[in-house]
């Protein structure tokens, strides 16, 4: 009887694993299919794109589609603008988030919890509400069509401050007490104790901020009117407006230009991302 019970348990365990893997495989295919189709379409000829039923692989790979898409708009300049604005936005976002998080986690001051809740309440306000006031202020500062005009209005990130603050509060107080006994001030404690212990969360936040800044479309579109200040998402919209002139295959090629840097950053920060998720699961 006991052997039969053990065999039944093993059977259900195997069936459960197979079902789980099948569900994960189906989810992977569902999520990955659009990316595969985008890549395949980017290397097709115009005739193969318009064939119905569609074909999965072209007879001849058309790498020249990428050249045509690149030459349709000044993507070199768009790349420079996106790299500058994304890098500056991520760096300043990490700095402001770290300072705010440390202040709310480790520094005691009057009405600290109230101001923290007030900061969280800002997450419920749609960002579109601030578009016109921000634009008016930047116009008076003559920051239209400038890098600072794209970056500065969005350097503060409430989610980043909240994420780091929650992690800082999980660090044992004894480490901070020991640093204070050694004569370190708040700045050095944050730099030498809090931040080094928060590398997994910082990696996760870096990836989140980079994707947010890299894919930003509405604000760069509003605050820039010159073509040489446009970013990649705005440039991709320019390609989209010319779709009937250049074809869907070139539109897919241009989309890959925007996607590749995000994939590179993801693979570089993958270790920190997984560590951050695992750490959150253990501490949660």
Q: Using one digit for the tens of pLDDT, what is the confidence trace for 150-186?
A: 999 999 889 999 989 989 988 888 888 888 888 888 8
- The answer to whether residues 248 and 49 touch, using CB atoms and an 8 Å cutoff, is yes
Q: Check whether residue 132 and residue 273 sit in a common domain.
A: yes
Domain extent, residue 32, equals 2-42
Q: Check whether residue 101 and residue 176 sit in a common domain.
A: yes
Task: Report the length, in residues, of the chain.
Answer: 284
Cβ contacts of 41 within 8 Å, gap of 6 or more: 49, 248, 249, 252
CA 61 to chain centroid: 31
C-alpha 26/C-alpha 134 separation (Å) is 44
Q: Using one digit for the tens of pLDDT, what is the confidence trace for 26-43?
A: 998 888 888 888 888 888
Q: Check whether residue 23 and residue 160 sit in a common domain.
A: no
Q: Check whether residue 201 and residue 232 sit in a common domain.
A: yes
Total H helices, total E strands in the chain:
16, 0
Task: Encode burial over 227-236: b for 16+ CB neighbours within 10 A, e otherwise.
Answer: eebbbbbbbb
Q: Does residue 150 form part of some domain?
A: yes
pLDDT at 89 over 90: yes
Q: Check whether residue 173 and residue 92 sit in a common domain.
A: yes
pTM of the model: 0.81
Of the chain, the percentage scoring pLDDT greater than 90 comes to: 24
Radius of gyration of the chain (CA): 25
Q: Check whether residue 223 and residue 125 sit in a common domain.
A: yes
Q: Does residue 56 form part of some domain?
A: no
Q: Check whether residue 15 and residue 141 sit in a common domain.
A: no
Dihedral of the CA atoms 169, 172, 174, 180 (nearest 10)? Answer: -40
Q: Using one digit for the tens of pLDDT, what is the confidence trace for 107-131?
A: 888 888 899 998 888 888 888 888 8
Based on the structure, what is the number of domains in the chain? 2
C-alpha 210/C-alpha 133 separation (Å) is 25
Q: Check whether residue 14 and residue 118 sit in a common domain.
A: no
Q: Using one digit for the tens of pLDDT, what is the confidence trace for 218-230?
A: 999 999 988 889 9
């Amino acid at each position: 009887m006991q052997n039969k019970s053990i065999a039944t348990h093993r059977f259900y365990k195997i069936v459960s694993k197979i079902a789980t893997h099948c569900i994960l495989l189906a989810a992977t295919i569902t999520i990955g299919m659009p990316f595969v189709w985008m890549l395949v379409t980017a290397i097709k000829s115009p005739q193969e794109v318009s064939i119905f039923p569609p074909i999965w692989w072209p007879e001849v790979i058309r790498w020249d589609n990428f050249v045509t898409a690149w030459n349709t708009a000044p993507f070199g300049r768009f790349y420079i603008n996106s790299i500058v604005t994304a890098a500056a936005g991520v760096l300043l976002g990490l700095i402001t988030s770290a300072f705010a998080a440390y202040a709310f986690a480790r520094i005691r001051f009057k009405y600290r919890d109230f101001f923290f809740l007030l900061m969280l309440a800002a997450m419920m306000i749609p960002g579109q509400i601030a578009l016109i006031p921000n634009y008016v202020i930047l116009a008076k500062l003559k920051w239209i069509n400038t890098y600072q005009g794209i970056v500065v209005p969005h350097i503060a990130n409430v989610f980043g401050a909240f994420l780091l603050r929650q992690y800082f509060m999980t660090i044992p107080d004894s480490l901070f007490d020991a640093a204070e006994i050694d004569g370190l001030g708040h700045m050095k404690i944050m730099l030498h104790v809090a931040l080094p212990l928060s590398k997994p969360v910082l990696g996760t936040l870096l990836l989140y901020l980079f994707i947010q800044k890299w894919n930003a479309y509405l604000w760069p579109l509003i605050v820039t009117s010159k073509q040489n200040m446009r970013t990649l998402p705005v440039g991709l919209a320019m390609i989209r407006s010319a779709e009937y002139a250049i074809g869907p295959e070139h539109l897919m090629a241009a989309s890959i230009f925007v996607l590749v840097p995000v994939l590179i950053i993801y693979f570089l920060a993958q270790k920190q991302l997984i560590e951050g998720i695992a750490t959150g699961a253990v501490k949660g």
